[in-house]
Chains A and B, each alone.
Chain A
Amino acid sequence: MALVNTMRDADARTLTKSTQLTFDGVVKRFPTGTTALDGIDLQVGRGDFVAVVGPSGCGKSTLLRMAAGLDTPTEGNVAVGTESVGFIFQEPTLLPWRTVRRNVELTAELGHMPKAERRVRADAAIAAVGLEDFADQLPRALSGGMKMRASLARSLALAPEVLLLDEPFGALDEMTRLDMQVELQRLYTGKTFTAMFITHSVSEAVFLADRVVVMTARPGRIAEIVDVDFPYPRRPELRYDPRYTEYVSRISASLHGGAQ
């Protein structure tokens, strides 16, 4: 953790006022010799919603984990402009012996926030994701979608400036997944945090993000960055808009071009 903090301070200069997250010539090689990421340059501006799509094994999750300090680059720098970072895992990672409320409180509790304050924040976050009626339930009583809502609430309780999401809806069924996309988008519109969202679903990326980063497989490189010009909040019907379909097919074509 100390290493990552030093890195953040040292490279604060590479962040301008409007950038929240910078990847500068990032290379990741595994001890086995395979290059997972090769020369990634990416700036994420304050309040942006950036989605990263790519085939599996292209290192997109590694990119996100570097931003969180869970992984370090072999070469290059990753700089984050704030200490206030939330991370959403692919699994809900709730502690099964804690109620939803006490799970949502966890991050604040570990940061030694006073009990009264973290309770207020947790309740607000639980209300924001619509889980008020389940606050005192254990995770095993919740459906997959509800668990993911609880996981979102846990991150939102600390009002992060940057939210990193690692394929958070990948394990959900299609219908829940579409609901959660609308939900996340609503939260994003309301709070305006900066979001970096990893996914392998092109349509999910287009629906949520204002910029879609398309990556190639092994070694992971940025093939293209596509701006998505739909204003927020986006309605679920947008998915039937011809322009939406056009974005999806264009990005899919770019993905498959890179894979060959």
Chain B
Amino acid sequence: MTVLARTERIARPTLVFAARRPSTRSARRMLGAAAVPLASFGVALAAWYAVTYLVLSHERRFLLPPPHAVLTNSILDWTHLKPMLDALLVTTQVAAFGFVIAAAIGIGVGVLMSRALWLERAIYPYAVVLQVIPILAIVPLIGLWFGYGTFARVLVCVIIAAFPIITNTHFGLRSVDRGQHELFTLARASAWDRLVKLELPSALPSILTGIRTAAGLVVVGAIIGDMFFAKGDPGIGTLLDIYRSRLQSEDLFAAIVLASLLGVAVFTLFGALSRVLIGSWHSSADAAKK
């Protein structure tokens, strides 16, 4: 009888280890994930206000106008915002154009270099030169040779962005698994099939790494181009320079924010692109998400 009573007692446990409901858990995690960046944004804004009102005297406040002034006097004022958006579009077009050319040249040269060792030795030094030239050092020469208009702006983008695509393409093509190469050798694959069906797909993660880097660089290149080659429609870089010279600091900050947003948009776009293209099979896609 006592044994039976004891069994009954154990059958009604006081502690229960049950799985937590996943829905509340993920909702809480999402809230937690959003709370931290929001809080840090709040801290950053507070610091901005602190510098504006506590550090800077009234006469020097133009060096860092308060956030709400940037918002109301510039971003929310259509007569100020309109020219900035037009300029941003011009800069975006130059950057996009330069990017497409840099990608075509970069992938083309990368493929060419990987075809033979002598080609690599012949071309690679020039690719390196392209990379090590300080872009600002050849800006005067570009202006002298190609004028101070859109062509020069695009050229700056190409020069600044081609190198990471060249090297990453070349590296990717060189890193194809040896066994997979032998598989193609045994199947007597043509050189074209080997390139298109093995080497390029295999190098794709690496090429996309180069492309992501290049996409960030063309934005920088386009803004530099705007500043030095001001002929034609003004770009956001042109406006940055004008606002600086006229001490329109609220507009200057607004233009910086817009230029940054362009950079963020490009970064996000190409992150998403890599995930779509290689997310299904390549392990580095997981790393790219972070």
Contacts and interface: CB of A to CB of B under 8 A. Distances in A.
Partners in one complex: yes
A85 B188 CA distance: 12
A111 B281 contact: no
A240 interface: no
B180 A1 contact: no
Contact of B182 (A70, A85, A96, A140): A70
Nearest to B181: A93
A68 to B, nearest CB: 6
Interface in A20-57: none
Interface stretch (B146-154, B193-201, B222-230): B193-201
Contact of B184 (A89, A91, A110, A140): A110
A70 B281 contact: no
B195 to A, nearest CB: 12
Contacts of A91: 179
A93 B193 contact: no
Given A1-B185, A93-B177, A95-B180, A110 B281 contact: no
B116 interface: no
A70 B186 CA distance: 8
Contact of A138 (B182, B197, B281): B281
A96 B179 CA distance: 13
Tier of interface size on chain B: 20 to 34
A85 B278 CA distance: 33
Nearest to B201: A97
Most buried by B among A69, A97, A107, A138: A97
A136 B67 CA distance: 54
Contacts of B185: 1, 70
A247 interface: no
B189 interface: yes
A106 interface: yes
B87 to A, nearest CB: 41
Contacts of B278: 97
Interface in B251-290: 278, 280-282
B179 A89 contact: yes
Contacts of A68: 186
A183 B215 CA distance: 50
A140 B183 contact: no
A69 B282 CA distance: 31
A218 B201 CA distance: 40
B186 A96 contact: no
Contacts of A70: 182, 185-186
Nearest to B186: A87
Contacts of B11: none
Given A1-B185, A110-B193, A140 B177 contact: no
Given A70-B185, A70-B186, A93 B281 contact: no
A68 B186 CA distance: 7
Contact of B281 (A1, A106, A140): A140
B237 to A, nearest CB: 39
Contacts of B198: 95
A87 B190 CA distance: 19
B281 A89 contact: no
Contacts of B202: 95
A101 to B, nearest CB: 15
A146 to B, nearest CB: 16
Given A96-B282, A138-B280, A140-B281, A110 B179 contact: no
A110 B179 CA distance: 16
Contacts of B281: 96-97, 138-140
The 9 closest A-B pairs by CB, nearest first: A110-B187, A93-B179, A110-B189, A96-B281, A107-B187, A97-B281, A89-B179, A97-B201, A87-B186
29 contacts: A69-B186, A70-B186, A85-B186, A87-B182, A87-B183, A89-B179, A89-B183, A91-B179, A93-B179, A93-B182, A95-B180, A95-B197, A95-B198, A95-B202, A96-B281, A96-B282, A97-B281, A97-B282, A106-B183, A106-B187, A106-B197, A109-B197, A110-B188, A110-B189, A110-B190, A110-B197, A111-B187, A138-B280, A140-B281
Given A87-B186, A97-B281, A110-B190, 18 more contacts: A1-B185, A69-B186, A85-B186, A87-B182, A89-B179, A89-B182, A91-B179, A95-B180, A95-B197, A95-B202, A96-B281, A96-B282, A106-B197, A110-B193, A110-B197, A138-B280, A139-B281, A140-B281
Interface of A: 1, 68-70, 85, 87, 89, 91, 93, 95-97, 106-107, 109-111, 138-140
